[in-house]
A and B are shown apart, each in its own frame.
Chain A
Amino acid sequence: MLNLIRAIISRDLRLALRRRADLVSALFFFIIVVSLFPLGVGPEPELLRKLAPGVLWVAALLATLLSLPRLFADDHRDGTLEQLALAPQPLGLIVLGKVLAHWLVSGLPLTLLAPVLGIQFDLSGEALWVLAFSLLIGTPALSGIGAIGAALTLGVRGGGVLLSLLVLPLYIPVLIFGAGAVDAAVIGLGAQAHLSLLGAMMLGGVFFAPWPTAAALRIALE
């Protein structure tokens, strides 16, 4: 079982590294969106500090969304998805592997990049730590929940826009607790409650979401 997940992750990582352009453009999208906000609302540090948690989290959501359509689309197009569905292991486990691989190339870089952008928003050292940690445990949930939407819209007309329509409402709890944690750190309250709830969502997103995703993939293959 672990072997299978490892095999999927190493295959997807290798593929991602061979077309780094996609990976890098999602990251630059994140950087640009975040940098636009000070230009839009003005450079007052007070205001920026207040906006930072929400802006960084919403931008992370959108950057994740950008990379989701390709999660299954390439495998679907070249026939690999059929092979995965016919593998003698539960499709849910294979999806779990793909979700983890997606997080490694999308969520993890966002997490590492976010504190640097947080400095632009004049966040304190502690708030930066909380920001990074909240993204570290929150972004896996984004990958997991997003996978459901990616599977449902596989090969569907206008899939990309539809995907956002389906997935964004489901992201709301992650957004609330992720941005809430940073917010709490900014105003000097403890972020622990937010972070534990975020952790619970991560477990749900990573370990339960692959099963409806697998069901949706089988429907798409019919």
Chain B
Amino acid sequence: MLEASNIECVRGERTLFSHVDFRLDGGELLDLQGGNGSGKTSLLRMICGLSAPANGEIRWRGELIGKLGEDYRRELCFLGHHNAIKEELTPLENLLASAKLADEILDAGEALDALEIVGLAGREDLACRYLSQGQKRRVALARLVNERRALWLLDEPYVALDAAAVELIAGLIGAHLQRGGLAVLTTHQTVNIVAGSVRQLRLN
């Protein structure tokens, strides 16, 4: 479903990586590993279509992602390094607003349930600026609870989370893979994801 061939990444004058190939099908997870500055995030952004590779191509269901455009974006869910939540809004408002912008239907009840699942019960109506770093990350990750799009691209999803939350997110990713979804993660730590098959790609 998701294929990348011969990808090359150039940042400034340095070639971060080249000749990267992988193929991912339904129910599979790609774990991107590598030290700081190895180009994990850059590769993830290329898979999103936010930036173009210096060389090589990325295909989704056999078509170039640049050509698919909106049709591709409709099937992907990206969680970046930044949480993309607004400090002035409450967790509930953030969740509802991001669903609306992503053209997804999410009612207040579902959103409240999702926040409860990620352990933010009782914090729904508190502006996010009063939350801790880990709690903010949980707000961002609450999107995944009801997320049914096929391709998840998660940049360091476990950062700032405690052990319980890491387990929870791993469970959500596992359930996604079991539904036949695809996921690409960048990680520093190895986390066991029970379902689906895991491929690893090391960049250096």
Complex: A in contact with B (CB within 8 Å): yes
Known: A85-B50, A221-B51. A15 touches B83 (CB 8 A): no
Given known pairs A14-B93, A78-B82, the reply for A86 and B70 (CB within 8 Å) is: no
How far is A221 from B100 in the complex, measured between Cα atoms in Å? 22
Known: A7-B100, A8-B101, A222-B50. A89 touches B82 (CB 8 A): no
CB neighbours of B52 from chain A (8 A): 222
Cα-based distance from A38 to B93 in the complex (angstroms)? 46
Contact mask A79-99 → B, CB, 8 Å, 1/0?
110111111111000100000
Categorize the interface residue count of chain B.
20 to 34
Q: Quick check: B103 and A222 within 8 Å, CB to CB?
A: no
**Contacts of A2-24 to chain B: CB distance below 8 A:** 3-4, 7-8, 11, 14-15, 18-19
> In the complex, are the beta carbons of A221 and B103 less than 8 A apart?
no
* B92 nearest CB across to chain A (Å): 12
Give complex CA distance A3, B88 in Å.
Answer: 23
Q: Number of A interface residues at 8 Å Cβ cutoff, please give it.
A: 26
B89-123 Cβ-contact flags toward A at 8 Å (1 or 0)? 10001000110111100000000000000000000
The answer to whether B97 and A11 touch across the interface, beta carbons within 8 angstroms, is yes
Given contacts A11-B97, A83-B78, A84-B101, contact A89 B50 (CB under 8 A): no
Residue contact B48 to A86, C-beta cutoff 8 Å: yes
Q: B86 to chain A: which residues have CB within 8 Å?
A: 15, 78, 80
A98 to chain B, nearest CB (A): 11
Known contacts A7-B100, A222-B50; A78/B84 CB under 8 A: yes
Q: Which residues of B contact A79 (CB under 8 A)?
A: 80-84
Contact B80 A82 (CB under 8 A): yes
Contacts of A90 in B (CB 8 A): 70
Beta-carbon nearest neighbor of B98 in chain A: A83
Identify the closest chain A residue to B86 (Cβ).
Answer: A15
B202 contacts the other chain (CB 8 A): no
Q: Which residues of the other chain, A, contact B97 by a CB distance below 8 angstroms?
A: 7, 11
Q: How far in angstroms is the closest Cβ of chain B from A123? A: 38
Q: What residues of chain B lie closer than 8 Å to A7, measured between beta carbons?
A: 97, 100-101
In Å, the complex CA distance between A84 and B74 comes to 12
Task: Note all chain A residues with C-beta closer than 8 A to B101.
Answer: 4, 7-8, 11, 83-84, 87, 94
Least Cβ distance of B41 to chain A in Å?
Answer: 11
A-B contact pairs, 29 of them (CB 8 A): A4-B101, A4-B103, A8-B101, A11-B101, A14-B88, A15-B86, A15-B88, A19-B88, A78-B84, A78-B85, A78-B86, A78-B87, A79-B80, A79-B83, A79-B84, A80-B85, A80-B86, A82-B50, A82-B82, A82-B84, A83-B80, A84-B101, A85-B50, A86-B48, A86-B49, A86-B50, A89-B103, A94-B101, A222-B52
Beyond the given pairs A4-B100, A86-B48, A88-B102, 15 more chain A to chain B contacts, judged by CB atoms under 8 angstroms and listed by A's residue number, are: A14-B93, A15-B89, A18-B88, A78-B82, A78-B83, A78-B85, A78-B87, A79-B83, A83-B80, A86-B49, A87-B73, A87-B102, A89-B70, A222-B50, A222-B52
Give the interface of A toward B (CB within 8 A).
3-4, 7-8, 11, 14-15, 18-19, 77-80, 82-90, 94, 218, 221-222
